[in-house]
C-alpha cells in the first residue's frame, strides 16, 4: 500500500475549493525569444522540483468518511505524464499565445496523478513559451513562484527570490512580530471550527476569541460584499488572459516623485484601468471595489520546507476606482496601503482558512462564498529577479504567475517585476470580460498618465 502523509487543514481547504467555474490552480507563463532545450527543461524539473519537493510525486486522496484528505505517494509516478507539447497556431503572436493559454487553464488537473502539468508551446515568434500549472493544495502562490524561479539560473547559479523590503510595499516576509498574530490566527481558527456558521453570522463571537485583534477580525467578518458590476457576477467555465509590460524605471520615477511605493503606483494604475472600464459600461461606478491580496506569512529569506504547503493570509484592499484624477487616486491607494501594512488581517485570515478546511463540505462552500463575496478580484504583486535568468540555458524574457480565484470571484490580476520591467496580467471569467487585453493596456496607459501628471 502506498504511504500516506497528512494534509494540513489549510491545504485541504484549497483542495476542496475546486469548482468547474473556478479551478484552484496556480498558472504561470514563461516566454522566450528562442526555442528551449525541451529534454533539458524536463531534466531541470526532475532534479529541482520532483526530487526536491515530495508533493510533486504524490496524489491528493480522500480520507476515510469524516477524515481529512491526505497526500499519497504515487507508486506509478511517471514524469512523462506531466509534460505536454503543443504548437501555437498562426500568426503565433502574443494574441495566439494568450488564446492557447486561455483554453488550457480551464482544464481540471487529473486527480489520479500528482496535481501539476507543464506545457511547451512551440512557435511563439522565434521562440516559445511554457505554461506551468500547479494545484493550490500543493502550496501557496508565493511559495510556488519561488519554486518556479528555483528552476532558473543566474550568472551566480540558481536564481534567488527577491525579498522585498517593508517600505517597498510589495510581498513582505512577516518574520518579526509574527508570534502574536499567528497566535491570534490559531485562536480565530479554533473559534470558527467550534462555532461554524454561527461565528460568521455573529462576528462578535469570533472577535471575542481574539480580543487583542478584534478590529481586524471584525473587519474581515463584517465587510460588505462588493456590488455586482461589469467585472463581478455569475461565473462561467471559460476564462481569458491578457497582459502588458511597462518600464520599472518609469514606475519608480513616479513613486519617488509622489513619495509613494512601487506597489502603490501599480495598484493605482490597476484601479485606474478598472475604473475606466467600468465607466464605459455603467456611469454609476462605485467609489471602490475590493481586492483580495495574498499576504505572505513565511520568511522569504529562508529555504522553503520540503513539504511546501500553504502559509499565507488574505487582506482586503479597497481600490478607489471611482477617483478619475490619477494623482488623487495614487494618494488614496497610498493611504489604504499604509493602513493594512501592519494589520494582523493576513495572519487571522490564515487561521480562518484552516478552520474552513476542517468543516463539512457544505459548510465550507457557504463560508468560502461568504468571504469571497467581499472582493471583486485577487491581486498579487511578486518581485522577481532583478536581472535576467535562464531556464535550461535559455534566457527567460518574461514571467507571469496568476493566483486562482475562489467562490464567486471572477478576476485574478498578476503583477510580476523582472529584469527592469513589470508585466501586469489579467485572468478573467470570459462571461464577464470577453477580452481582458484592454484592461492590461489600460494599466500601461495609467502609468504613463501618472508619469506625466507627476512632472
User: Per-residue b/e over 210-243, b at no fewer than 16 CB within 10 Å?
Assistant: beebbebbebbbeeebbeebebbeebeeebbbbb
Mind listing the pLDDT tens digit for each residue in 114-149?
A: 999 999 999 999 999 999 999 999 988 888 888 888
E strands in 226-311: 239-247, 289-296
How large is the greatest C-alpha to C-alpha distance in the chain, in angstroms?
68
Cα distance between residue 304 and residue 165, in whole Å: 19
Count how many Cα atoms sit within 13 Å of the Cα of residue 240 in the half-sphere of its side chain: 17
What H or E segment, with its residue span, contains residue 81?
A: none
Cα distance between residue 209 and residue 189, in whole Å: 9
Q: What SS3 state is found at 48? A: helix
- In order of 154, 313, 439, the CA distances from 362 in angstroms are 47, 22, 35
Cα distance between residue 384 and residue 420, in whole Å: 10
How many H helices and E strands in the chain?
14, 18
| The three grid cell numbers given for residue 260, joined into one nine-digit string | 509613494
Domain 4-158: which CATH number of 3.30.110.30, 3.30.559.10, 2.60.120.620, 2.60.40.350: 3.30.559.10
Cα distance between residue 85 and residue 410, in whole Å: 28
Q: Are 149 and 384 in contact (CB under 8 A)?
A: yes
Residue at grid coordinates 513559451: 129
Kindly report whether the global pTM for this prediction surpasses the value 0.75: yes
| Residue 396 backbone dihedrals phi, psi, to 5 degrees | -90, 125
Cα distance between residue 380 and residue 104, in whole Å: 21
| Residue 56 backbone dihedrals phi, psi, to 5 degrees | -80, 0
How much is the pLDDT for 373?
64
Residues in the chain, how many? 455
Mean pLDDT of the chain: 80
Cα distance between residue 194 and residue 377, in whole Å: 30
Q: What is the DSSP string of 97-160?
A: HHHHHHHHTTSPP-TTS-SEEEEEEEEETTEEEEEEEEETTTB-HHHHHHHHHHTSEETTEE--
- Pairing outcome for strands 377-383 and 289-296: parallel
Q: Specify which residues 129 forms β-bridges with.
A: 31, 121
- In order of 24, 88, 130, the CA distances from 421 in angstroms are 28, 25, 19
How much is the pLDDT for 174?
29
- Cα-Cα-Cα-Cα torsion 35, 40, 46, 47, nearest 10 degrees, comes to -120
In this structure, which topology does domain 166-384+403-453 adopt according to CATH? Answer: Chloramphenicol Acetyltransferase (3.30.559)
- Cα-Cα-Cα-Cα torsion 266, 134, 225, 186, nearest 10 degrees, comes to -100
| The three grid cell numbers given for residue 126, joined into one nine-digit string | 522565434
Cα distance between residue 409 and residue 434, in whole Å: 16
Per domain, the residue ranges of the chain are: 4-158, 166-384+403-453
Give every residue of the chain whose pLDDT is below 50, as ranges: 161-212, 346, 348-350, 356-357, 366
Residues 6+ away with beta carbon under 8 Å from 269:
424, 443, 444, 446, 447, 450
How much is the pLDDT for 141?
81
Same fold, 4-158 and 166-384+403-453: yes
How much is the pLDDT for 188?
34
| The three grid cell numbers given for residue 88, joined into one nine-digit string | 501555437
Cα distance between residue 374 and residue 382, in whole Å: 23
| Residue 258 backbone dihedrals phi, psi, to 5 degrees | -105, 10
What H or E segment, with its residue span, contains residue 443?
A: helix 437-453
Amino acid at each position: 500500500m502506498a504511504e500516506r502523509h497528512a494534509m494540513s487543514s489549510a491545504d485541504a481547504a484549497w483542495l476542496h475549493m475546486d469548482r468547474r467555474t473556478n479551478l484552484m490552480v496556480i498558472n504561470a507563463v514563461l516566454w522566450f525569444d528562442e526555442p528551449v532545450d525541451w529534454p533539458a527543461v524536463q531534466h531541470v524539473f526532475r532534479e529541482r522540483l520532483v526530487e526536491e519537493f515530495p508533493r510533486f510525486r504524490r496524489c491528493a486522496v480522500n480520507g476515510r468518511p469524516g477524515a481529512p484528505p491526505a497526500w499519497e505517494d504515487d507508486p506509478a509516478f511517471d514524469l512523462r505524464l506531466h509534460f505536454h507539447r503543443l504548437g501555437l497556431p498562426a500568426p503565433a503572436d502574443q494574441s495566439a499565445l494568450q488564446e492557447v493559454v486561455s483554453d488550457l487553464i480551464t482544464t481540471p488537473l487529473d486527480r489520479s496523478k500528482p496535481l501539476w502539468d507543464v506545457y511547451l508551446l512551440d512557435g511563439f515568434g522565434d521562440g516559445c513559451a511554457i505554461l506551468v500549472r500547479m494545484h493550490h493544495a500543493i502550496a501557496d502562490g508565493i511559495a510556488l513562484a519561488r519554486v518556479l524561479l528555483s528552476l532558473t539560473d543566474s550568472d551566480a547559479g540558481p536564481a534567488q527570490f527577491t525579498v522585498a523590503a517593508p517600505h517597498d510595499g510589495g510581498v513582505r516576509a512577516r518574520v518579526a512580530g509574527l508570534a502574536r498574530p499567528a497566535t491570534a490566527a490559531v485562536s480565530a481558527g479554533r473559534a470558527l471550527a467550534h462555532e461554524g456558521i454561527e461565528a460568521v453570522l455573529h462576528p462578535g463571537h469570533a472577535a471575542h476569541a481574539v480580543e487583542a485583534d478584534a478590529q481586524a477580525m471584525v473587519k474581515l467578518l463584517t465587510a460588505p460584499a462588493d456590488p455586482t458590476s461589469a467585472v463581478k457576477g455569475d461565473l462561467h467555465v471559460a476564462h481569458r488572459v491578457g497582459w502588458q509590460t511597462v518600464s520599472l524605471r518609469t514606475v519608480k520615477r513616479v513613486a519617488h516623485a509622489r513619495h509613494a511605493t512601487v506597489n502603490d503606483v501599480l495598484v493605482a494604475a490597476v484601479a485606474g484601468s478598472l475604473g475606466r472600464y467600468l465607466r464605459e459600461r455603467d456611469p454609476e461606478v462605485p467609489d471602490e471595489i475590493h481586492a483580495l491580496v495574498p499576504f505572505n506569512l513565511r520568511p522569504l529569506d529562508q529555504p522553503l520546507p520540503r513539504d511546501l504547503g500553504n502559509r499565507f493570509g488574505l487582506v482586503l484592499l479597497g481600490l478607489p476606482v471611482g477617483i478619475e484624477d490619477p494623482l488623487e487616486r495614487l494618494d488614496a491607494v497610498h493611504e489604504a496601503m499604509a493602513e493594512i501594512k501592519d494589520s494582523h488581517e493576513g495572519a487571522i485570515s490564515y487561521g480562518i482558512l484552516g478552520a474552513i478546511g476542517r468543516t463539512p463540505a457544505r459548510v465550507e462552500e457557504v463560508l468560502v462564498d461568504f468571504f469571497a463575496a467581499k472582493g471583486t478580484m485577487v491581486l498579487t504583486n511578486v518581485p522577481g529577479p532583478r536581472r535576467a535568468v535562464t531556464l535550461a540555458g535559455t534566457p527567460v524574457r518574461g514571467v507571469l504567475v496568476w493566483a486562482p480565484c475562489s467562490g464567486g470571484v471572477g478576476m485574478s490580476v498578476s503583477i510580476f517585476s523582472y529584469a527592469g520591467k513589470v508585466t501586469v496580467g489579467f485572468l478573467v471569467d470570459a462571461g464577464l470580460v470577453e477580452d481582458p487585453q484592454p484592461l492590461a493596456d489600460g494599466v500601461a496607459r495609467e502609468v504613463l498618465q501618472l508619469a506625466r501628471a507627476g512632472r
